[in-house]
Amino acid sequence: MCGIVGIYHLDTPKPVDPARVAGMCDALAHRGPDGEGVWTAPGVGLGHRRLSIIDLAGSPQPMASSDGRAVLVFNGEIYNFRELRRELAAGGVHFRTDGDSEVILAAWQRWGTDCLQHLQGMFAFAIYDLEARSLFLARDRLGVKPLFYTTLSDGSVIFGSELKALLAHPLLRREADPLAVEDYMTWGYVPDHRAILKNVHKLAAGHFLLLRHGKPLPAPSEWWDVSFAGRRAGRRAALEEELHALLEEAVRSRMVADVPLGAFLSGGVDSSSVVAFMAKAGAQPVRTCSIGFDVTGLDETAYAQKIAQRFGTDHVTRRVSPDDFEAVEALAGMFDEPFADASALPTWRVCQLAREHVTVALSGDGADEALAGYRRHVFQRAEDRVRGALPASMRASVFGRLGALYPKADWAPRPLRAKSTLLALAGDSAQGYARALAYATPEMREGLYSPEFQRLRGEYRAEQPLEALMRRAPARSGLDRAQYADLKFWLPGDILTKIDRTSMAVGLEAREPLLDHRLVEFAACLPESLRVRGRQGKWLMKKAMQRHLPEDILYRPKQGFVTPIAQWFRGPLRDAAREIVHGKGLAASGWFDQRHLGHLVEEHVSGRSDHARLLWQLLMLERSFTTLGLV
């Protein structure tokens, strides 16, 4: 796991200053504390920060191919590199190292852009081909590893693993994109189709860019997608065995490392499943770690301890105080872009704990998206049945009117939030799911924005890209489309961004075996009844894991990392909440209605309403603006 940067001149091959590339690398020092390197040639410069995981001494980067024609910088891991190495060696390739980096170079030279189809893993990499004078940028199928890029006024394209690498270049223009703010206020993160700064882009998951001197910047090319259009036939027992085998292989393949390896363990289905297969595959006890909370109802450590005892793991636990709010400033610097998923804080803490014991940690992320594990999937399926039974005109008229009249109750459990359900049923499946995912509904956002911001936003609404994605999805049903949106939109923008930044901040490599693309492709073709049955999501996975895990782990209510931000904003963060209204960040932008913000803050502080999630969202936006120098 590493950090990569680069500078590439599209027009004339101007000299690239190695010190400038090194400066961009220095901004990513946390991603690669074990080594650094810079390589330049006419019109191009590549930089690398290394966290050594495989072939600790033998694979320094930037790495040149054996014939000197191509140079690579690479962030990630290729899990099938040994099989590929044998295949390429049989075709005459001679390898000088024992790692996966040289295998990528050889695969590029053998297959060109088609090399991506042969790679199983998580990655973002750049290859400069000296003979073709081309730069090849690629990102893995699900977007586990990030890649930012932009064009500058001098005609160059710069790229890096994080936005802070681009910020290190003096020609980068720092201007907030109001459409990205609309996206952020809707979803709680800036999705991959946009960045918080104008003219900065993220290479989308499953896409590549092939740049050539003398030619304009091309549009990214999609090289992988997941299809929900098919359905696997066969008996349930056979499909269960196939799923079990895919789960086991996904975990086993991610246990290759030349450094200490462990796992995050929350005591939920997904992390417990990963630990179960690790214990089966390994000769030594698995090293596991958990974070607990000194708040009743938020602590899951008893479940994690039960799994640790069941599989004899070397388990460590650390409790986080409910007053762990001092990390707000650190989070803003960690993510660069505003990021409002409050579980980032405990995720960072568990990464810190893991790094004290291991260099690589396996997580359970991805199963909910791939196998329909969220409660919203259950609701989406049920709501689609109602939509299918009533004409659209009737739903829009009846449910729309009732939803507009029904009182708002965001504090209530989802089944009791009749306003949200009614408004969701008034629209089509994509519109309903957008409401289910949104941090702030359209109605909430209208009250937040100033007239100036509404003018800048124009006709754009953040729901539009998500709804369009769902409508063109290769899918059969509303549940299919919801999962497709999760995998293509929510997963890379929120979940994978969170684990990448929090793990890399402490020099820890996190691996997500449940996002093995073969597992994801298999799950996408399962009949709906094997994904969701009744009120149970991830139904077939739970059946497959019954041989390993007890029922109180498999079927207990989903919890996840929860942070007591409601209490914080009525206590130690009360002043910070009020600073949102009058501070130099959001107030200086002129994009928000300060009077309305002040009303929300005082309602929450007094205990009359719970606006904790919205206040956290605004606080992280304000901190991001300050960190990025936008105010």
Strand partners, 495: none
Nearest to 486 by CA among 498, 495, 474: 495
Identify whether 62 is preceded by a cis peptide bond (ω within 30 of 0). yes
Reading the block at residue 332, the tokens are: 């803003």
Let me know the angle formed at the C-alpha of 275 by 274 and 278, rounded to the nearest 5 degrees.
Answer: 90
What type of residue sits at position 119? L
User: Rounded CA gap, 86 and 93, in Å?
Assistant: 9
Is 25 tagged catalytic? no
**Contact of 213 with 226, CB cutoff 8 Å:** no
Distance of CA 411 to the CA centre of its chain: 26
**Cβ-based burial of 375 (10 A; exposed 0-12, middle 13-18, buried ≥19):** middle
**8-state DSSP, 562:** -
Instruction: Tell me which H or E stretch contains 3.
Output: strand 2-9
Count CB-CB contacts under 10 A for residue 518. Answer: 12
Beta strands in 152-217, from DSSP E residues, in sequence order: 156-160, 200-202, 207-212
| Selected catalytic residue, list 2, 25, 115, 289 | 2
CA dihedral sign of residues 163, 116, 204, 43: positive
**Contact of 473 with 228, CB cutoff 8 Å:** yes
CA dihedral sign of residues 289, 291, 292, 297: negative
- Cα atoms found within 13 Å of the Cα of residue 225, Cβ hemisphere only: 12
Let me know the angle formed at the C-alpha of 443 by 440 and 445, rounded to the nearest 5 degrees.
Answer: 50
Distances (CA, A) of 342 to 193, 269, 328, 339: 22, 21, 10, 8
Residue identified by tokens 């009360």 is 574
What type of residue sits at position 504? M
Reading the block at residue 591, the tokens are: 């994009």
**Contact of 150 with 166, CB cutoff 8 Å:** yes
CA dihedral sign of residues 631, 465, 539, 141: negative
**Contact of 122 with 77, CB cutoff 8 Å:** yes
Residue 287, SS3 per DSSP:
strand
**Contact of 74 with 32, CB cutoff 8 Å:** no
Beta strands in 161-217, from DSSP E residues, in sequence order: 200-202, 207-212
Sheet with 156-160, strands from edge to edge, namely 35-41, 44-50, 2-9, 156-160, 148-151, 200-202
**Contact of 432 with 424, CB cutoff 8 Å:** yes
User: Taking the chain, what is the end-to-end CA distance rounded to the nearest angstrom?
Assistant: 33
Residue 356, SS3 per DSSP:
coil
**Contact of 54 with 100, CB cutoff 8 Å:** yes
What type of residue sits at position 120? Q
Return the active site residues: 2
